Amino acid sequence: MTKLTEQKLVWQPTPTQIADSNLGRFMRLHGIAGYEALQQRANTDPEWWWNAIADLIEFTKPYDKLLDIERGLPFARWCVGGKTNIVLNSLDRHRGTPIWQTPAILGEAESGKLRTWTYQQLSAEVSRLAAGLDQLGIKEGEVVAVFMPNVNEAIAGLLAIAKIGAVVMPLFSGFGVEAIVSRMLDSEAVAILTVDATSRRGRLAPMKTLAIEASRRLPSLRHIICLKQSDVEVPPSRLDVDWAGLCAGKPCDFPTKEMDAESPVMLLYTSGTTGKPKGTVHDHAGLAAKFSLDISLFMDIRPGDRAVWPSDMGWLVGPLLAFGFTMVGASFVLSDGAPNYPDPGRMWRQVESYGATVLGLAPTVIRGFMNDIGTGGHDTSKIRLCISTGEAWTPDAWWWTFEHVLHKKSPILNYSGGTEIGGGILSGSVVCPMKPCAFSGPIPGMGVDIVDAEGNSLPDNTVGELVLRKMSIGLTRGLWNDPERYLDSYWRDIPGVWRQGDWAVRDSDGFWYVLGRSDDTLKIAGKRTGPSEVEGLLTATGKVLEVAAIGIPDRVKGEAVACVVVLGNGVIFNEGLNNELQSAIVEGLGYPYKPLFILPVQDLPKTRNMKVMRRLVKAACLGKPLGDTSSLVNPDALQGISEASLQVRQLIDA
């Protein structure tokens, strides 16, 4: 049993908080007595549950059949016969309501320049761009890529593409040419939205130049639509379309195209580390319903909320803000650049100056702040909840956030799922008590379970694979033009269930914990352990800023622990520190977990949403092929690890 499951309750909602929550109102509407009763009814009567969730969104034509599994469970069809458009739910539904004149986007450039767009202004920008895309001849079902930094127009781009019935393909703003080409070739994208250049930590980074270079290898590409926002001169391309010129004179009320509920709206590629990235497909009704479920009912986001949630348009959080937060009429800070540049406490300054009520983050972000400037003295008292996603917490980072950011007054809502899910599998909830690092439980109706290799359900306090036994309305409809890879990736490892690829455990009180990716999990002396348990012991020493705990082949134990660490400012690695760090792990977990080595490096490889890629750390230490690294914000970190690992390679090879 993991030590995480031995913790006590540290926060409980009041009856008033439960009653005033979105989920509390939903339960009253449906005559449900409480959270446990909701879980039970959703899992025993999924048709009632998913009809109730579909009722959260608007259709222009009601669906005839909720769920069709004639082609088998992996290829389920939802809301068959219905018609809608995700933009109808994200923007059009607010027309004529008080939300229409409230801020949608609080866009802050790296320079500090602020551009606030109300819902009315956002809708007008979306309409003008949609009319321009329509004029270019972009048709329903064609793929349009968005390769842009976090500027207001990126949000308008996502919504405009969906508005005309085309398929949105968000790309990470830090991609190089090869990553762009691989995804656009696979999708046969016909257009790309980009900017001439953007500022990254004070330096201009070209983007249109990369799009032009990629275009030479993309036979399907017809247009490069560029927003000019700098003085950088970019050589022209025969595919050039000027963004401002395209939108000039276009109507601010261009009609939203009525789409079949099952029509694809978004093609979002996963950040895989081997093989080509997988293109997950999401449709209009499914994505809208899943976002409504997760954001409204479980995250409890409401009109008037203001969110600070650093991310990128290329990962799920970007579309979650663009399509999801707008559904409920909330505002969000769209921050171009890093959360700690140009000033180290930029994120906390935004929380204070914009009056943020919601803070979204990855635990890695917190570890950076807690070992540096903390909150920088900024006022965080208006935050009513924190949403955490991307990776597992270490207890020290969780407690620091609860004490120093939330002042033990507000909950941390853990949220875990992914690109393929279209949102979450497990989540916290404001109607449930809270334990450190835990999830309140599964999002209902998905048949979430923890199983062994044969698919048998495991008892409490036993680590196993996280799976789905039932279909979810938000689940990817497959992989783009690759049904066999879809089945191989998610459905065939454990027959009859969706395998998420995460290790999880449920404690005796019904709280759930994600321990990391299945291929990240350590198996030491026959016991599975999440890397976060080892990592938490090292960061708790105050000497280590970040750490990746990995498993190294061992002739005796099968696998031994190794730790790649980034030390705190001014900390020197020597034999004494090495012994101190090893002792911290041995005292916390036992002698079998004594690391084979502790390797200090300058940086760990991370995705744009700050997830540490332990599999790549392991590959670099072992000198193995790295595979696809295009999802990384800092690929140079791998070279540093490879070079540093030479000094311990003899231990690995022994």
Tell me, what CATH number does 452's domain have?
3.40.50.12780
Query: How confident is the chain (654 residues) per 10-residue block, as mean pLDDT?
Result: 74 96 98 95 95 98 97 95 98 98 97 96 98 98 97 98 98 88 95 94 90 97 96 90 98 98 96 70 98 98 97 90 98 92 94 98 87 92 95 88 97 94 96 96 96 94 94 96 93 92 92 82 67 85 91 77 92 94 87 89 83 87 81 87 85 62
Q: Please choose, from the candidates 279, 330, 371, the residue with its C-alpha nearest in 3D space to the C-alpha of residue 122.
A: 330
Residues 576/595, Cβ–Cβ less than 8 Å: no
**Position 208 in a domain:** yes
| Half-sphere CA count of 321, side-chain side, radius 13 A | 33
Residues 6+ apart with CB under 8 A from 342: 110, 112, 201, 202
State how far the Cα of 654 lies from the Cα of 652, in Å rounded to an integer. 6
State how far the Cα of 176 lies from the Cα of 213, in Å rounded to an integer. 10
Residue type for 218, please? L
Beta bridge partners of 416: 426
Residues 380/351, Cβ–Cβ less than 8 Å: yes
Q: What are phi and psi of 441, to 5 degrees?
A: 160, -170
pLDDT of residue 271: 62
Burial category of 444 from C-beta neighbours within 10 Å (exposed 0-12, middle 13-18, buried 19 and up): buried
State how far the Cα of 120 lies from the Cα of 354, in Å rounded to an integer. 20
State how far the Cα of 487 lies from the Cα of 313, in Å rounded to an integer. 27
State the DSSP string of 605-617: -BBTT--B-HHHH
| Half-sphere CA count of 325, side-chain side, radius 13 A | 26
Q: Please choose, from the candidates 566, 578, 531, the residue with its C-alpha nearest in 3D space to the C-alpha of residue 551.
A: 531
**Position 586 in a domain:** yes
Task: Indicate whether 375 and 244 sit together in one domain.
Answer: yes
**Position 30 in a domain:** no
Helix or strand holding residue 304 (H, E): none
pLDDT of residue 529: 72
The residue range of the domain holding 527 is 519-653
Task: Indicate whether 505 and 597 sit together in one domain.
Answer: no
pLDDT of residue 608: 65
Task: Indicate whether 555 and 574 sit together in one domain.
Answer: yes
Task: Indicate whether 508 and 531 sit together in one domain.
Answer: no
pLDDT of residue 354: 97
Q: Please choose, from the candidates 575, 512, 503, 563, the residue with its C-alpha nearest in 3D space to the C-alpha of residue 539.
A: 563
State the DSSP string of 471-525: --TTS---BTT-HHHHHHHHTSSSTTSEEEEEEEEE-TTS-EEEEEETTT-EEET
Task: Indicate whether 543 and 481 sit together in one domain.
Answer: no
Task: Indicate whether 169 and 68 sit together in one domain.
Answer: yes
**Cβ neighbour number for residue 649 with a 10 Å cutoff:** 13
Residue type for 270, please? T
Beta bridge partners of 226: 194, 242
Long-range contacts of the stretch 486-491 (C-beta < 8 A, 24+): 486/74, 486/278, 487/74, 489/278, 490/74, 490/420, 491/74
**Cβ neighbour number for residue 264 with a 10 Å cutoff:** 23
Task: Indicate whether 254 and 181 sit together in one domain.
Answer: yes
Q: Please choose, from the candidates 148, 106, 117, 367, the residue with its C-alpha nearest in 3D space to the C-alpha of residue 243.
A: 148
Kindly list the distances between the CA atom of residue 382 and the CA atoms of 263, 368, 378, 428, in Å, as whole numbers in the listed order: 40, 22, 11, 20
Q: What are phi and psi of 413, to 5 degrees?
A: -95, 100
Q: Please choose, from the candidates 312, 489, 503, the residue with its C-alpha nearest in 3D space to the C-alpha of residue 392.
A: 503
**Position 27 in a domain:** no
DSSP β-ladder status, 544-554 and 464-468: unpaired
**Position 26 in a domain:** no
Q: How many helices (H) and strands (E) does the chain have?
A: 21, 31
Kindly list the distances between the CA atom of residue 329 and the CA atoms of 44, 296, 316, 322, 519, in Å, as whole numbers in the listed order: 32, 10, 19, 11, 39
| Half-sphere CA count of 18, side-chain side, radius 13 A | 13
Last residue in a domain, options 513, 529, 560: 513
Alpha carbon of residue 610 to chain centroid: 10
Q: Please choose, from the candidates 302, 300, 281, 298, the residue with its C-alpha nearest in 3D space to the C-alpha of residue 422.
A: 281
**Position 499 in a domain:** yes
Q: Which two tokens stand for residue 157?
A: 């781009």
Burial category of 276 from C-beta neighbours within 10 Å (exposed 0-12, middle 13-18, buried 19 and up): middle
Residues 552/560, Cβ–Cβ less than 8 Å: yes
Task: Indicate whether 535 and 505 sit together in one domain.
Answer: no
- Domain count along the chain: 2
Beta bridge partners of 23: none
Q: Please choose, from the candidates 405, 437, 396, 398, the residue with its C-alpha nearest in 3D space to the C-alpha of residue 541.
A: 396
Kindly list the distances between the CA atom of residue 641 and the CA atoms of 574, 597, 638, in Å, as whole numbers in the listed order: 18, 13, 5
Kindly list the distances between the CA atom of residue 156 and the CA atoms of 91, 122, 148, 190, 473, in Å, as whole numbers in the listed order: 11, 7, 11, 18, 25
Last residue in a domain, options 513, 538, 555: 513
**Position 79 in a domain:** yes
Beta bridge partners of 386: 359, 412
Task: Indicate whether 620 and 581 sit together in one domain.
Answer: yes
Q: Which two tokens stand for residue 484?
A: 């066999």
Beta bridge partners of 333: 106, 308
Last residue in a domain, options 513, 547, 568: 513
Task: Indicate whether 429 and 531 sit together in one domain.
Answer: no
**Position 25 in a domain:** no
DSSP helix/strand/coil, 449 = strand
State how far the Cα of 378 lies from the Cα of 353, in Å rounded to an integer. 9
- CATH number of the structural domain spanning residue 621: 3.30.300.30
Task: Indicate whether 475 and 530 sit together in one domain.
Answer: no
Q: Say how many residues make up the chain.
A: 654
pLDDT of residue 237: 94
Task: Indicate whether 442 and 476 sit together in one domain.
Answer: yes
Residues 601/566, Cβ–Cβ less than 8 Å: yes
